[in-house]
Amino acid sequence: MTGPPDFPALRAKLASGDGPRFWRSLDAVADSPEFRDYLAAEFPSASQLAAAPERRGFLKLMAASFALGGLTACGGAGGRDHEVPYVNQPERIVPGTDLAYASSALFDGFGNGILVTTRNGRPLKIEGNPDHPWSRGGTDVLAQASVLGLYDPFRSQAVQHLGRPSSWAAFRTALQAQMPAWRGTGGAGLALLTGPVTSPTVAAQIARLRAAYPALRWHVGAGAGRAGLYEGARLAYGRPLETIPDFDRARTIVALDGDFLDLGPGQVGLSRRWSAARRAAYAEGRLLTLHAAAPTPTLTSAKADVSVPVQAARLEALARALLGLAEGGAAPSGDDPVARWTRGAGKALTEARGAGLVTAGLTASPALHDLVHRLNGALGNTGTTLRLTEPAEAQGAGTLADLADAMARGTVTALIVLGANPVYEAPGALDLAAGMGRVPLKIHAGLYADETAAHADWHLPVAHPLESWGDVRSLDGTVGLIQPTIAPFYNGRTLPQMLAFLADGTGGDGAEDALGLLKARWREQGTDEAAFEAGFSEALRQGFWADSARPAETVALTQVAAISPYDVHTPPAEATSPPEPFDGTDTPDLARALPPPQRGEGDT
Amino acid sequence: MAQLFTPGADALYRLALMTGVACLVGLPVLAAGIVRSNYVTGVGVAPAQPLPFSHKHHSGELGIDCRYCHTTVDKEATAGIPPTQTCMTCHSQIWTGSDMLKPVRDSYAQDIPLEWKRLNKLPQYVYYNHSVHVTKGIGCSTCHGDVTAMQMTYRANAFEMRFCLDCHRAPEKYVRPPDQVWNMTWTPPADQATLGPKLAAEYHIRGGARLTECGICHR
């Protein structure tokens, strides 16, 4: 609410009346007309409750609830009047007993191995797959909760055209009318937007689609995005690479806004590896120290043995100071927490050359990633405590900003959004909703009829991963398979099915055999059909293709000249001699990063 | 002014009072009787099934083991109702033209399951596991009666809570040697008083307080 509260009036109100009064905010005590209007606008259903509570109404409701609660006792046998056995009992399916299938859970397009426990044909519980080489039996909260998403009644249940229920057949007819024109122009003006793609099958389908429409532009948007990470590797090595730390070979770890323990595609696998390495070190009688510098408290910095808050903008200078130390420079002087931390981390790293590990997180800038790569290179850590591999994510896509730009210029004539919700997730400055208004044909496929669906002409329901065939790569490249644990509820289709239809325009109304598409992707590698089927069955049973992790690449750092512009702006010395001395508390940088709004300009 | 009540009013009044008292006592007794009657519990009533399957013929006369059809009775919580395929293991060879077996053949040919009327129902708040009872010496007939004597299958016991508790309070009165579990005509032998506790110990049955904990059945 606006304005300072009228304290004397509030005190008078609280003092008056008999007995204590309970309140949640000063506005609620004041009970002004503005507050009532605000409450009615923001929480329509709660505004009635905020009015004087009615004893009679309350008692009425409670009595009714009590009576209705008793009704459950009157239920019938609940469909238990008959026994309906199978005609042909499937092997291993015993009514009333558990059966687990190996599958994969998705996080921002990356996979973790899971075991889905089903009973009577219904998936009920998700746990980690202990055999999966990347996730090693771990799951994250999203994987655990994904079984609830399957049964979510608010999932998109039907094809919609202009907000009205339609059908796959109608969609197919409409698209087939468009396709000759697309083929004629090579797909000029056609834009495809997806989430991060690690699935080899989806990547192959997109490649097919781009072959069919050479002028089609593919964009990947939303999510935390690994673009900065890959760009950093490109600066350092000349090509995008994924960094996989091997904690068990490390003797000390330095995290510059590193987030390997925090929620993200790597969390499950990396936190398992870190804790295992930490335990192994403890068994040997040493401590696998973790030094963390981060602008905000994270799980990684909370777990760190030595942690310091540092402004995000100063992380690069910090990395440069560590790089100077690694190359034999002088240790930074000063007695502020950051300088002390830098000395400690630098000492640990230089003492453990070839057995140290410096990491940076998803939100770090490309320049910081570049510096971290050079730091690891200078310390001899690259190739020993960390592997550089081909990225699991399919490369070659444009960004969301490119798409927003193209839409604003009016060069996009048809936009196909598969499994993403850019209108909600994209930065507001891109204004994708307005951009979509300039596109003549907009197709959206997603689990939910969300904000993007509201701006699209066609909305297509996507099948939930627990009812789909598919594959997905983990961060280290291990290919996990996704198998359905139940027949699709709502006639949703998987992304490969939709892409196959978009590429061919033939086949059924998008109902191409999802298992066939998956097998077709992997059959290319084998020759003998029987051997392939046996191998595929074994992979399905395990939940992943064995030994499919990406091998370590041999890399060479590019010339430092590539990063010289950063040196000009921020000389290394700046990291250790900040313009203002710290007051000794642990959170000076946090206070500066988020100055309270009422502070004056001169404060910063 | 004439008398308001005739001399007979007293008798009527007494009659009404006595009827009221009789109802007060009689109606609950009647209601309790109806609830426990076979009409409500279904005990001894053989409902119409999709085909007149006879346990007496198959199990009693031909001697087919219970587990040939109820395959999971000693492994899982549920005993298992046989799929149509199990019927057809024999009936694809014998009585192939029988009218009585037409529903079985139709089910198999058209892939439509047979829908049997369920006889034994426990409330949903009761947990029951067949395998633990069968593997610890409680025979089929203790609960299901002499199924091998049933031409058409019916419910042998009402499965009121008391029925379960009788045994859970004194399992040694009911446990059998392992080879007698499938014996449908088993009656406690003369030396059950000495044999029972010995068997209960062998089966590791912890009777009394442990078996009568609420959470044993109401989990």
Cβ contact A94–B118 (<8 Å): no
Are residues A326 and A343 both part of a single domain?
Answer: yes
* The two three-digit tokens of residue B60, written as one number: 């009693």
- What percent of chain A is predicted at pLDDT more than 90? 38
Beta-ladder partners of A245: A386
Cβ contact B84–A82 (<8 Å): no
Q: Measured between CB atoms, which of B83, B117, B124 is closest to A85?
A: B83
Are residues A168 and A215 both part of a single domain?
Answer: yes
**Which residues lie below 8 Å from residue A136, measured CB to CB, with a gap of 6+?**
A128, A130, A269, A272, A273
Helix residue spans in A327-441 (DSSP H): 337-351, 366-379, 400-409, 422-425, 432-437
Chain B residues with CB-CB distance to A97 below 8 A: 72, 76-77
**Does A596 have pLDDT greater than 80?**
no
Compute the C-alpha angle B14/B17/B21, nearest 5°: 140
The CB density around residue B22, as the number of other CB atoms within 10 Å, is 10
Contact present, A482 and A468 (Cβ < 8 Å): yes
* Exposure string for A226-240, b = 16+ CB within 10 A, e = fewer: bbbbbbbbbbbbeeb
Chain B residues with CB-CB distance to A77 below 8 A: 118, 121
A342, part of any domain: yes
Rounded Cα gap, residues A507 and A499, in angstroms: 12
> Of residues A133 and A221, which shows the higher confidence score?
A133
Contact present, A157 and A140 (Cβ < 8 Å): no
- Cα dihedral sign, B156-B160-B162-B166: positive
What 8-state DSSP symbol labels residue A136? T
The predicted complex's ipTM stands at: 0.84
Q: Which pLDDT value is given to residue A55?
A: 82
Are residues A343 and A289 both part of a single domain?
Answer: yes
**Dihedral angle at the C-alpha atoms of B37, B39, B41, B47, nearest 10 degrees?**
150
| Averaged pLDDT of chain B | 91
- Cα dihedral sign, A597-A599-A600-A601: negative
> Nearest CA to A461 among A72, A166, A151?
A166
Cβ contact A94–B80 (<8 Å): yes
Q: Measured between CB atoms, which of B114, B117, B124 is closest to A85?
A: B114
* The two three-digit tokens of residue A184, written as one number: 């004629």
Cβ contact B117–A81 (<8 Å): yes
Cβ contact A82–B81 (<8 Å): no
Contact present, A475 and A484 (Cβ < 8 Å): no
Rounded Cα gap, residues A571 and A561, in angstroms: 15
Q: Which pLDDT value is given to residue A27?
A: 76
Q: Which pLDDT value is given to residue A394?
A: 86
**Does A158 have pLDDT greater than 60?**
yes
Are residues A314 and A172 both part of a single domain?
Answer: no
Burial of residue A448 (number of CB atoms within 10 Å: 0-12, 13-18, 19+): middle
Of A505, A524, A542, the domain-final residue: A542
A78, part of any domain: no
Q: Which pLDDT value is given to residue A599?
A: 35
**Does B28 have pLDDT greater than 90?**
yes
A119, part of any domain: no
Grade residue A18 by pLDDT with cuts at 50, 70 and 90.
Answer: low
Grade residue B84 by pLDDT with cuts at 50, 70 and 90.
Answer: very high
Distance from CA of A466 to the nearest CA of B (A): 26
- Cα dihedral sign, A232-A233-A235-A240: negative
Distance from CA of A80 to the nearest CA of B (A): 7
DSSP A289-350: EEEEEESS--HHHHH-SEEEE--GGGHHHHHHHHHHHHTT-PPP---SHHHHHHHHHHHHHH
Of A492, A511, A542, the domain-final residue: A542
Of A496, A521, A542, the domain-final residue: A542
Mean pLDDT of B65-85: 91
**Does A600 have pLDDT greater than 50?**
no
Q: Which pLDDT value is given to residue A270?
A: 93
Q: Which pLDDT value is given to residue A245?
A: 92
Grade residue A551 by pLDDT with cuts at 50, 70 and 90.
Answer: confident
Are residues A380 and A412 both part of a single domain?
Answer: no
Mean pLDDT of A306-323: 90
Are residues A439 and A380 both part of a single domain?
Answer: no
A179, part of any domain: yes
Total number of domains in chain A: 3
Q: Which pLDDT value is given to residue B147?
A: 93
DSSP A535-596: HHHHHHHHTB-TT-SPPBPP--PPPGGGGHHHHHHS-GGGGTS-SS---S-S-HHHHHHS--
A564, part of any domain: no
Q: Does B112 touch chain A (CB under 8 A)?
A: yes
Are residues A239 and A366 both part of a single domain?
Answer: yes
Beta pairing, strands A356-360 & A252-256: parallel
Query: For residue A436, how far is the Cα from the chain centroid?
Result: 24
Residue A463, domain extent = 160-225+394-542
Contact present, A128 and A137 (Cβ < 8 Å): yes
The CB density around residue B7, as the number of other CB atoms within 10 Å, is 7
A552, part of any domain: no
**Does A589 have pLDDT greater than 70?**
no
Rounded Cα gap, residues A450 and A195, in angstroms: 15
The residue type at B21:
V
Task: Give the CATH number of the domain where residue A419 resides.
Answer: 3.40.50.740
Contact present, A135 and A129 (Cβ < 8 Å): yes
Distance from CA of B88 to the nearest CA of A (A): 10
Residue of B53, B72, B105 to mutate when probing chain A, most A C-beta within 10 A = B72
* The two three-digit tokens of residue B110, written as one number: 């058209």
Rounded Cα gap, residues B32 and A291, in angstroms: 75
Q: Does B81 touch chain A (CB under 8 A)?
A: yes
Cβ contact B113–A94 (<8 Å): no
Helix (H) or strand (E) holding A49: helix A44-50
- By CA distance, what is B72's nearest residue in A? A94
A342-347, Cβ contacts within 8 angstroms, sequence gap of 24 or more = A342/A318, A342/A575, A342/A576, A344/A291, A344/A306, A345/A254, A345/A291, A345/A293, A345/A306, A346/A321, A346/A322
Q: Which residue has the tokens 């309070």?
A: B169
> Nearest CA to A158 among A561, A545, A490?
A490
Cβ contact B118–A86 (<8 Å): no
Average the pLDDT over each of A177-181, A228-232, A322-326, A501-505 and give the range with the smallest value.
A501-505
Burial of residue A283 (number of CB atoms within 10 Å: 0-12, 13-18, 19+): exposed
Are residues A380 and A400 both part of a single domain?
Answer: no
Q: Measured between CB atoms, which of A81, A85, A88 is closest to B81?
A: A85
Q: Which pLDDT value is given to residue A92?
A: 81
Mean pLDDT of A287-308: 92
Chain B residues with CB-CB distance to A86 below 8 A: 83-85, 113
| Averaged pLDDT of chain A | 83
> Nearest CA to B200 among A74, B192, A346?
B192
Chain A residues with CB-CB distance to B115 below 8 A: 82-84
**Does A25 have pLDDT greater than 90?**
no
Cβ contact A84–B116 (<8 Å): yes
Chain B residues with CB-CB distance to A83 below 8 A: 81, 115-118
Helix (H) or strand (E) holding A461: strand A458-461
The 3-class SS string of chain B reads: CCCCCCCCHHHHHHHHHHHHHHHHHHHHHHHHHHHHCHHHHCECCCCCCCCCCCHHHHHHHCCCCHHHHCCCCCCCCCCCCCCHHHHHHHHCCCCCCCHHHHHHHHHHHHCCCCCEECCCCCCCCCCCCHHHHHCCCCCHHHHHCCHHHCCCCCECCCCCHHHHHHHHHCHHHCCCCHHHCCCCCCCCCCCHHHHHHHHHHHCCCCCCCCCCCHHHHCC
Cβ contact A87–B111 (<8 Å): yes
pLDDT digits (tens, 9 = 90+) for A121-150: 899 999 999 999 998 999 999 999 999 999
Q: Does B50 touch chain A (CB under 8 A)?
A: no
Beta pairing, strands A217-220 & A190-194: parallel
Q: Does A82 touch chain B (CB under 8 A)?
A: yes
Query: For residue A358, how far is the Cα from the chain centroid?
Result: 23
Rounded Cα gap, residues B7 and A496, in angstroms: 97
Chain A residues with CB-CB distance to B85 below 8 A: 86-89
> Of residues A208 and B7, which shows the higher confidence score?
A208
Are residues A311 and A426 both part of a single domain?
Answer: no
Are residues A423 and A375 both part of a single domain?
Answer: no
**Does B38 have pLDDT greater than 50?**
yes
- By CA distance, what is B110's nearest residue in A? A87
- Whats the size of chain B, residue-wise? 219
Q: Which pLDDT value is given to residue A47?
A: 67
- By CA distance, what is B125's nearest residue in A? A73
Contact present, A493 and A463 (Cβ < 8 Å): yes
Q: Measured between CB atoms, which of A82, A86, A95 is closest to B78?
A: A95
* Measured CA distances, A11 to A15, A26, A33 (Å): 6, 10, 18
Residue of B114, B130, B159 to mutate when probing chain A, most A C-beta within 10 A = B114
Q: Measured between CB atoms, which of A77, A88, A94 is closest to B121?
A: A77
Mean pLDDT of A377-386: 88
Distance from CA of A385 to the nearest CA of B (A): 49
Helix (H) or strand (E) holding A359: strand A356-360
> Nearest CA to A357 among A377, A338, A341?
A377
Rounded Cα gap, residues A220 and A386, in angstroms: 27
pLDDT digits (tens, 9 = 90+) for A55-110: 888 899 899 998 888 776 665 555 678 888 999 988 888 888 889 999 999 988 89
* Exposure string for A3-28, b = 16+ CB within 10 A, e = fewer: eeeeeeeeeeeeeeeeeeeeeeeebe
Cβ contact B118–A80 (<8 Å): yes
Residue of B69, B118, B119 to mutate when probing chain A, most A C-beta within 10 A = B118
Are residues A231 and A209 both part of a single domain?
Answer: no
Average the pLDDT over each of A310-314, A505-509, B96-100 and give the range with the smallest value.
A505-509
Grade residue A34 by pLDDT with cuts at 50, 70 and 90.
Answer: confident
Are residues A266 and A384 both part of a single domain?
Answer: yes
Task: Give the CATH number of the domain where residue A339 resides.
Answer: 3.40.228.10
Contact present, A418 and A503 (Cβ < 8 Å): no
* Measured CA distances, A77 to A96, A101, A267, A356, B35 (Å): 17, 31, 46, 65, 16
- What percent of chain B is predicted at pLDDT more than 90? 73
- By CA distance, what is A85's nearest residue in B? B83
Contact present, B116 and A82 (Cβ < 8 Å): yes
**Does A224 have pLDDT greater than 80?**
no
Cβ contacts below 8 Å, chain A against chain B, sum to 60
**Does A191 have pLDDT greater than 80?**
yes
What 8-state DSSP symbol labels residue A356? E
- By CA distance, what is A79's nearest residue in B? B118
* The two three-digit tokens of residue A379, written as one number: 């310390």
**Does A50 have pLDDT greater than 70?**
no
**Does A385 have pLDDT greater than 70?**
yes
A200, part of any domain: yes
Mean pLDDT of A293-305: 91
Rounded Cα gap, residues A82 and A99, in angstroms: 24
